Amino acid sequence: MAQPPLNLPPDDRSGSGTPALLFFPAALAGKQFAGPLVVVVDTPIDFCRWLNDAPPEVQWLQVEGLLGEPEIWATAARKASAVALDVVLSQPGTEFSGLYRLADVRNVRDVRVTLPVAPGFSKALRLASALQLPVRLLPGQPNDALVEELLVAVDFYLHDPSVEAPVEFFHSFLASQRGVLGSDLWMILEQDPDEYRRHDQQGAPIYPEGALPSPTRSGFVTQFEQRLAETGAECSGCRWQSFCRGYFKWPNPDYACAGIIRVFDALAKAAGEMETDLAAWQPPPQEPTQPPAIP
């Protein structure tokens, strides 16, 4: 989603050596132009203000709770600016029908839909995919019923012809199985607190419990992995550890991953089948080109 980050002074850079992306509520974002920025908007006034007057530091607007406001989406469908949108649904099972309002918006700007894995999320996933909108799923720690819905979503993603835009984290997992070097799940879902630094309405940094409360902190995911290893968590023997890096052990490290491993296994099986199909595929023979007839 993010555009290439801007250059920042060395002391403002995250532990990866690239600028951290800062998330600020709209009321505070106007004072934050020292680096790449995401503005969180949750009122029509803030949405229209930042949509029409976003400085180049703004990578995208994170839009919350506004899918039911048809007027602002009519505004967004006009090419007054090129700022991208990440439309977050808090209750995807009931809000999904409002995604139709994004059909014209996607013609003039980048739009992504972010869905928590909550009951009924697959309805929103299906509609977003039909509208050719990329989707970011935030799985959290799904219970058994949500694991089953995730498995249905995997099957839809793999086999439904309407799916043309990426669905994360499915898309990056399949790429990793095909040998494409990429990021871990924390980074793919923009949840690594060292790289994606969120702030509350008072401007205070929002840290996961256990992260160091300092703007120069780094290595939260590594530290969390170390804690899991010290407590004997199941991650150490998991074949998907290098991709997940303990993501599904947060915030409750006692969460049992058997269900989510089924999701990974289903995606890995599909990746293997793709590999087999590609290896067996032969291009059709080309007919020899006949020289032009000489009159």
How many other CB atoms are found less than 10 A from the CB of residue 57? 17
State the burial class of residue 268 (Cβ atoms within 10 Å of its Cβ: 0-12, 13-18, 19+).
middle
Whether omega before 251 lies within 30 degrees of 0, making that bond cis, reads yes
Which is higher by pLDDT, 219 or 85?
Answer: 85
Closest CA to 80 of 42, 54, 113, 41: 54
Closest CA to 23 of 176, 157, 152, 197: 197
Structure tokens at 173: 């997992």
Question: Residue 113 above 80 pLDDT?
Answer: yes
Q: Sign (positive/negative) of CA torsion 259, 263, 269, 271?
A: negative
Task: Give per-residue pLDDT as tens, 247-294.
Answer: 999 999 999 999 999 999 999 999 888 778 666 666 777 776 666 666
Closest CA to 220 of 186, 173, 169: 186
- Listed in sequence order, the residues at least 6 apart from 184 whose beta carbon sits closer than 8 Å to its beta carbon are 192, 221, 242, 243, 244, 245, 247
Enumerate the domain spans of the chain.
14-203
How many other CB atoms are found less than 10 A from the CB of residue 59? 24
According to the model, what pLDDT value does residue 204 have?
A: 85
CATH level 3 topology of 14-203: TIM Barrel (3.20.20)
Q: What share of the chain is helix, strand, coil (3-state, %, to 5)?
A: 40, 15, 45
Residue with tokens 């839809």: 156
Global confidence as pTM:
0.86
Give whichever of 104-108, 201-205, 214-218, 273-277 has the largest mean pLDDT: 104-108
Task: Give per-residue pLDDT as tens, 171-213.
Answer: 999 999 887 777 899 999 999 998 999 998 888 888 776 555 4
Instruction: Tell me how far apart the alpha carbons of residues 103 and 132 are, in angstroms, rounded to a whole number.
Output: 9
Lowest model confidence (mean pLDDT) among 82-91, 174-183, 233-242: 174-183
Question: Residue 117 above 90 pLDDT?
Answer: yes
CA 49, chain centre distance (Å): 25
Q: Find the helix packing angle between 144-159 and 121-130, rounded to 10°.
A: 20
CA 193, chain centre distance (Å): 14
Instruction: Tell me how far apart the alpha carbons of residues 217 and 196 are, in angstroms, rounded to a whole number.
Output: 12
- Find the length of the chain: 295
Residue with tokens 């003039």: 108
Amino acid at 146: L
